[in-house]
């Protein structure tokens, strides 16, 4: 591997993390390299920079394409494919969230739905289904929130994030004024630990 030290540390770290993120070391390294590279790179250059075989690069780029994490670029009078990453980090986040949902959540959601449609044979089945229903309901809440939020323009998404839990102040107001959600049993307490006055 022949890279400036700073880039190399970053690339090696992404390689190590790759496993935890559901891709292998090479895929992580290539992604990191493309992310910091000022220009798109071709397969040969990647293989060279990371000191790995050309065929490994080819397979790993395929995987990155399956994840929608790389873009193909072309340079006039050059037949080679050049690769790069989207440069907007927020776009990268969206792509990543979408892909992980597709791989980690959707299959489970569809299995849960299928199993909940089955007619229970006995009490054990009934208990199991009740548990599956709880899980199903939670995942539905999350994915419908996600489907809603992902439509936001980046600027609004950032505003929403920086608001954080302070949104619940609006929720309290909403509770009182419009009676959205169920009426509260206890009197509303002021929230713990939301001191800095963003609003």
Partner DNA sequence: CTGAAATTTCAGAAACTTCTGAAATGACGA
Partner DNA sequence: TCGTCATTTCAGAAGTTTCTGAAATTTCAG
When binding is defined by CB under 8 A, the residue of 53, 55, 58, 141 that contacts its own copies is: 141
What is the residue whose two structure tokens read 């054990």? 124
* Number of residues in the chain: 199
Number of residues binding to DNA, judged by CB under 7 A: 20
When binding is defined by CB under 8 A, the residue of 159, 176, 190, 195 that contacts its own copies is: 159
187 binds its own copies (CB under 8 A): no
Q: How far is the CB of 1 from DNA (least distance, A)?
A: 11
According to DSSP, residue 72 is labeled: E
Alpha-carbon span 91 to 35, nearest angstrom = 13
Q: How far is the CB of 79 from its own copies (least distance, A)?
A: 27
13 binds DNA (CB under 7 A): no
CA distances for 171 relative to 140, 142, 191, angstroms: 21, 18, 12
Exposure string over 19-33, b if 16+ CB within 10 A, otherwise e: eeeebebbbbbbbbb
CA distances for 13 relative to 16, 63, 177, 191, angstroms: 5, 19, 50, 39
54 binds its own copies (CB under 8 A): no
Point out which span in 46-54, 114-122, 129-137, 162-170 binds DNA (CB under 7 A): 46-54
79 binds its own copies (CB under 8 A): no
Asked whether the beta carbons of 135 and 113 are under 8 A apart, the reply is no
Where in 75-94 is the site for DNA (CB under 7 A)? 79-81
Q: How far is the CB of 45 from DNA (least distance, A)?
A: 9
Q: How far is the CB of 100 from its own copies (least distance, A)?
A: 9
Alpha-carbon span 83 to 32, nearest angstrom = 12
Binding site for DNA (CB under 7 A): 19, 24-26, 42-44, 52-56, 58-62, 79-81
């Amino acid at each position: 591997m022949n890279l400036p030290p700073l880039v190399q540390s970053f690339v090696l770290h992404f390689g190590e993390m790759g496993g935890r993120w559901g891709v292998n070391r090479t895929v992580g390294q290539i992604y990191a390299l493309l992310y910091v590279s000022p220009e798109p790179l071709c397969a040969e250059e990647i293989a060279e920079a990371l000191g790995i075989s050309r065929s490994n690069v080819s397979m790993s780029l395929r995987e990155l394409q399956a994840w929608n994490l790389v873009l193909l670029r072309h340079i006039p009078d050059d037949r080679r494919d050049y690769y790069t990453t989207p440069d907007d980090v927020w776009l990268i986040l969206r792509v990543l969230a979408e892909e992980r949902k597709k791989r980690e959540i959707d299959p489970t959601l569809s299995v849960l739905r299928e199993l909940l449609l089955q007619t229970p044979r006995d009490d054990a089945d009934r208990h199991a289904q009740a548990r599956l229903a709880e899980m199903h309901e939670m995942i539905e809440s999350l994915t419908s929130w996600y489907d809603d939020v992902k439509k936001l323009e980046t600027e609004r998404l950032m505003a929403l994030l920086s608001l954080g839990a302070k949104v619940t102040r609006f929720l309290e107001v909403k509770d009182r004024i419009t009676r959205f959600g169920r009426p509260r049993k206890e009197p509303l307490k002021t929230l713990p630990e939301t001191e800095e006055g963003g609003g």
